[in-house]
């Protein structure tokens, strides 16, 4: 199976919206139809669909689905409901900026239409959501083309969490250079951190890379230092849910630790993301809201409880890696190098 043949994370066909339920992978591959805004909210909140670019796409289509029975509304009533629904969906997950970016884009698109009918406004936002989806496919391919040259024969490449095809429209962000290098005949190994507490590396990254024919080895999160020290890791590529204007990045919890280790062992640490993940309105990592999730994700492993009843729990879903630990940021427009604030402002400001 090639990267193009992997199951689609988000499918919009004939007005019907489907999400691949990633909470069931790798045991079961199930497409679940999304019939209303509450279901879309729940699917995003519960990580049935996850990964910053995929959340943006899912949110855009979810907003469309929420408005399909509002075609008879006046311009004012349609816009009022559109803004309310966008605000509601945006509250499902606060850290990944792609969600708010996509929802704002659909609202602005409708606002620009002026005094149009509800029918016309619906067709406009539906078309814009499709544009966002198609753009992401092209962006992921471009990230792969820019980043593939970093991967050379015989390398060991470490990634954390899942910034793969399952987190985007296809190819992924962090994995896109890997898929591209693999298709170019480069021989290398990928090491995937399991990524506790929800095991996105074990359940998703190792599964999709294996399905696509890449040489992937799964390791637990606390094995990364050992693998780096033994010389098996030559390069780190991760994704991100938000890039601040100074180059700080928020990504899945544990990314900061990987970056600190890479710095200690002198291993290049790259972040891959689309421009929609770059938030020039957020000055630095301290300004990024970090989502805290439920205790049960930490106190259980699978469906088995692994911690004592009543124990105190912290469960931040993300951490912030400061710009000084990052070797480069791979985007669809090229690879940015430090100082990131200057490059980000020049390219995206």
CATH code of the domain occupying 3-141: 1.20.120.420
Q: Are 320 and 271 in contact (CB under 8 A)?
A: no
Residue with tokens 């990633």: 22
- How do residues 97-133 score in pLDDT, each as one tens digit? 899 999 999 999 999 988 889 999 999 999 999 999 9
- How do residues 37-87 score in pLDDT, each as one tens digit? 999 999 999 999 999 899 999 999 999 999 999 999 999 999 999 999 999
Q: What class, spelled out in words, does domain 145-348 have in CATH?
A: alpha beta
Output the six-digit token pair for 241: 């849910």
Give the integer Cα–Cα distance in Å for 89 and 85. Answer: 6
Q: What is the pLDDT of residue 1?
A: 63
Confidence of residue 32 (pLDDT cuts 50, 70, 90): very high
Q: Give catalytic residue positions.
A: 241
Q: What are phi and psi of 333, to 5 degrees?
A: -100, 0
The residue ranges of every structural domain in the chain are 3-141, 145-348
- How do residues 208-266 score in pLDDT, each as one tens digit? 999 999 999 999 999 999 999 999 999 999 999 999 999 999 999 999 999 999 999 99
Q: What is the pLDDT of residue 115?
A: 81
By the 10 Å C-beta count (0-12 exposed, 13-18 middle, 19+ buried), 238 is classed as buried
The percentage of the chain sitting over the pLDDT mark of 90, rounded to a whole number, equals 92
Q: Is the pLDDT of residue 3 over 70?
A: no
> 59 vs 72, 104, 120, 256, CA distance in Å?
22, 10, 20, 27
Q: Report the 3 state secondary structure along the chain.
A: CCHHHCCCCEEEECCEEEEECCCCCCCCCCEEEECCHHHHHHHHHCCCCCCHHHHHHHHHHHHHHHCCCCCCCCHHHHHHHHHHHHHHHHCCCCCCHHHHHHHHHHHHHHHCCCCCCHHHHHHHHHHHHHHHHHHHHHHHHHHHHHHHHHCCCCCEEEECCCCCHHHCCCCCCCCHHHHHHHHCCCCCEEEEECCCCCCHHHHHHHHHHHHCCCCEEEECHHHHHHHHHCCCCCEEEECCCEEECCCCEEEECCHHHHHHHHHHHCCCEEEECCHHHEECCCCCHHHCCCCECCCHHHHEECCEECCCCCCCCCCECEEEECHHHCCEEEECCEEECCCHHHHHHHHHC
By the 10 Å C-beta count (0-12 exposed, 13-18 middle, 19+ buried), 22 is classed as buried
Give the integer Cα–Cα distance in Å for 218 and 207. Answer: 10
Q: What is the pLDDT of residue 301?
A: 86
Residues in the chain, overall count = 349
Mean pLDDT of 161-167: 95
The interaxial angle of helices 118-147 and 97-111, nearest 10 deg, is 140
CA atoms within 13 A on the CB side of 248: 17
Q: 113 CB contacts (<8 Å, ≥6 apart)?
A: 120, 121, 124
> 60 vs 18, 51, 74, 109, 156, CA distance in Å?
13, 14, 21, 12, 37
């Amino acid at each position: 199976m090639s990267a193009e043949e992997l199951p689609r994370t988000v499918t919009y066909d004939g007005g019907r919206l489907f999400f691949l339920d990633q909470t069931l992978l790798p045991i079961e591959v199930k497409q679940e139809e999304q019939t209303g805004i509450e279901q879309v909210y729940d699917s995003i909140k519960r990580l049935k669909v996850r990964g910053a670019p995929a959340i943006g796409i899912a949110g855009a289509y979810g907003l469309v689905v929420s408005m399909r029975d509002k075609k008879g509304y006046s311009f004012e009533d349609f816009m009022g409901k559109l803004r309310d629904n966008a605000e509601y969906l945006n509250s499902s997950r606060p850290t990944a900026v792609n969600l708010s970016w996509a929802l704002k884009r659909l609202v602005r698109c409708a606002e620009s239409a002026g005094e149009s009918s509800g029918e016309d406004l619906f067709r406009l936002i539906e078309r814009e959501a499709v544009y966002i989806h198609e753009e992401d496919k092209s962006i992921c391919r471009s990230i792969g083309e820019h980043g593939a040259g970093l991967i050379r024969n015989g390398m060991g490449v470490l990634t954390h969490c899942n910034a793969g095809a399952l987190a985007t429209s296809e190819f992924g962000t962090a994995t896109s250079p890997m898929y591209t290098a693999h298709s170019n005949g480069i021989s290398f190994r990928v090491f995937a951190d399991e990524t506790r507490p929800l095991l996105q590396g074990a359940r998703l990254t190792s599964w999709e890379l294996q399905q696509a024919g890449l040489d992937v080895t799964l390791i637990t999160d606390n094995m990364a230092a050992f693998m780096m020290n033994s010389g098996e890791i030559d390069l780190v590529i991760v994704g991100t849910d938000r890039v601040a204007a100074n180059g700080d990045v928020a990504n899945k919890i544990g990314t900061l630790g990987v970056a600190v280790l890479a710095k200690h062992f002198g291993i290049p640490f790259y972040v891959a993301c689309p421009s929609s993940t770059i938030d020039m309105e957020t000055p630095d990592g301290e300004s990024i809201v970090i989502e805290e999730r439920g205790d049960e994700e930490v106190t259980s492993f699978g469906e088995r409880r692994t911690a004592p009843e009543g124990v105190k729990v912290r469960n931040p879903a993300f951490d912030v890696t400061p710009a000084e630990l990052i070797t480069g940021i791979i985007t669809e427009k090229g690879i940015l190098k430090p100082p990131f604030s200057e490059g980000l402002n020049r390219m995206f400001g």
